[in-house]
Structure 1
Amino acid sequence: MRTIMLACALGALLLARPAAAVPGVDEPDTVKVNAIRNPEIHTYKAVLAGLDSFEEYHALAPKVPELRFRIRPRGGAGLPEQPRVRIEDDHDFILPLDLDAANRFSVPRSEAAEDENGEVVLNQKRKLYRIHPDVRTPGLPANVRRLGDLRLECKTMIAIAKEEIPLFWVVAINGLLLTRDWCNFTHKEAMPDWGFDSDVPIVGAILQEGNRSKLLKTDGDRFSVALGDTSWGDDALIELEFAPAPANP
């Protein structure tokens, strides 16, 4: 069940799409995707669905001021060199987006981008990098994630996925899971785990709340947690144990 659901729900975010036609603009702030085959692209309409979901379920992470997105490498790829992100259409609309030091950025609401069926485009290949929602409560250590943040992150990710996969898949998955809430479905009274990325490789992850704790599954730079287990509150924390840095020969 978990494999089928994840493959169907998130497959559209992993499949390569043809690159959009890019105006021949040669300015410092342009993304320059002209020579990049199949860059990472999301429709602006899908990103708006993520923003709407963030606002609807903001109570899961009330201290997070806005939804941000992050550029993440795939399959052992290094961090992207000089990443650029912008909103564009097939005509003349171009809106560069600012990235912070951690390759995170926010996407503004734009009537022009919506009217022109714009796309959010990264100047990196889809096979090597991806754009992913990133929800983090300010003030937490780098190795600590809050459960409510992850729940909201899942909500926004699924909202984007539902806009980018065919409607018949959405209907089919709703029927398969017996719910429209893909983040919190149950199967035979079990709570399937959701996997999340860590910034660096990890060797352990512990879910903690009050006087109890639970050891979570980890695999390389990912950890898994059952988002639908309501016995754990949104303020429960996941402490990640980072792998030791390799010795410098």
Structure 2
Amino acid sequence: MSRLMRATLPMLLAAATAAVCAQSPPAAEVQQVTVTGAARHSVEKSFRKMMHGMDFFEQAKAGLAPQAVLRFKLLPRKPGTDMDHIVLEVIGSSFDYKVPVAPDHTFVLERNRLAMDEDAVVSPNRRRLSMTWRTDIRSPGLPPGTRRLGDLRLECLVGLEADLVSNSNPLALIADLFADSRRYCERKDAKYLFFAERPLFSVTLVAGERREVLPVDQLYAGASDDPGLKQDLPYCDCEVLVDRTYFLPLGDRSWPDDTRVEFEYMDDRP
């Protein structure tokens, strides 16, 4: 990466963060979800659709990530969202029960026939648009600071099948993303947002002797290549995590599923 780019990246991230904070309202107070009232105001998801995503994972994992394990993950969307005291519940018309959330904000869903029959929702005690959801699919044995491309390909597919991506701009020309998620995730230019653990400096693909650093327009929600980012952010579930986001060439099969995705973080830099 050039010396000019190294100098420019912190300014780019600062501008993106400022745009987010300028538009985002203060975080809503934590509100306990109840069946009778607040559920419709929460950032809930359909239990049935999440089960559909789990079924798809079981069908597709052999071809993409045979050793991988599926969890779901909660991520902040608004400044100040409390991610450490989340009460997550499955709520039907005649029952509710809590789902344990791990310290890394991931969880698993157990299959439940009554929840399917009653079209239950999976509901955290947070208001609508304060959080977003993703799948977290990982094969064992990877070094720290790396992911496996096949796992991430499967995250895109399962995430869309489970209807986890939230609040897309209705005017954006991505209707086919929801109409045919498999075809969308197989595009070379698929704009499915992934989130790293910490603010990113660079992302590198490694397959054997082949190494390629992702261009900067594949990082930070495309901020370097989007003059309308400030207007688009309210429709992106990356509002407070812009500096952790990246796109991948999911449909480029010249990169095999065992390709290693290596992260260099901002706080790794001297």
Q: TM-score, normalised by structure 2?
A: 0.67
Distance in 1, matches of 2:209 and 2:81, equals: 39
1:223–1:23 Cα change, 3 Å: closer
Note if 1:47 corresponds to 2:50: yes
Please give the secondary structure, in 1, of the residue aligned with 2:53.
helix
Aligned length: 207
Please tell me whether residue 240 in structure 1 is matched to residue 241 in structure 2: no
Unaligned runs of 5+ in 1: 1-18, 25-33, 166-171
**Deviations 1:184-222 (Å, cap 9, x if unpaired)?**
13xxxx644533111110110001100001111321111
Question: Per-residue displacement from partner, 1:136-191 (whole Å, max 9, x unpaired)?
Answer: 222323421110010110111111229999xxxxxx628998x8522013xxxx64
Q: Give the letter aligned to residue 201 of structure 1.
A: P
The 3 A distance-change label for structure 1 pair 200 and 76 is: farther
Contact in 2 for aligned 1:37/1:125 (Cα 8 Å) = no
Q: Is the helix fraction higher in 1 or 2?
A: 2
SS of the aligned residue for 1:234 comes to coil
Greater than 4 Å deviation, 4+ residue runs: 34-37, 75-79, 162-165, 174-177
Q: What residue in structure 2 maps to residue 202 of structure 1?
A: 200
Distance 2:46 2:199 in 1: 31
How many percent identity over aligned positions? 28
Distance in 1, matches of 2:91 and 2:266, equals: 40
Separation of aligned partners in 2, 1:61 and 1:115: 31
Q: CA RMSD in A?
A: 3.3
- For each residue in 1:73-115, what CA deviation from the matched residue of structure 2 results, as whole angstroms up to 9, or x when unmatched? 1155455131121111133x11211122211100111101001
Which residue of structure 2 aligns with residue 6 of structure 1? none
Residue 59 of structure 2: which of 56, 63, 69 is its match? 56
Given that 1:158 and 1:182 are in contact with CA atoms closer than 8 Å, whether structure 2 keeps it comes out as: no
Q: How does 1:107-146 map to 2 (within 5 A)?
A: 107-146=109-148
Output the amino acid matched with 1:227. Answer: L
Q: Distance in 2 between matches of 1:132 and 1:122?
A: 14
2:252 corresponds to 1:229: yes
Deviations 1:224-247 (A, max 9, x none): 111000111111011011111799
Higher strand residue share: 1
- Is the alpha carbon distance of 1:244 and 1:180 closer, same or farther for their aligned partners in structure 2, counting shifts above 3 Å? closer
Aligned partner of residue 155 in structure 2, secondary structure: helix
Q: Is the 8 A contact 2:89 2:96 kept in 1?
A: yes
Long gaps (5+) in structure 2: 1-30, 168-174, 221-242
Give the TM-score normalised by the residue count of structure 1.
0.72
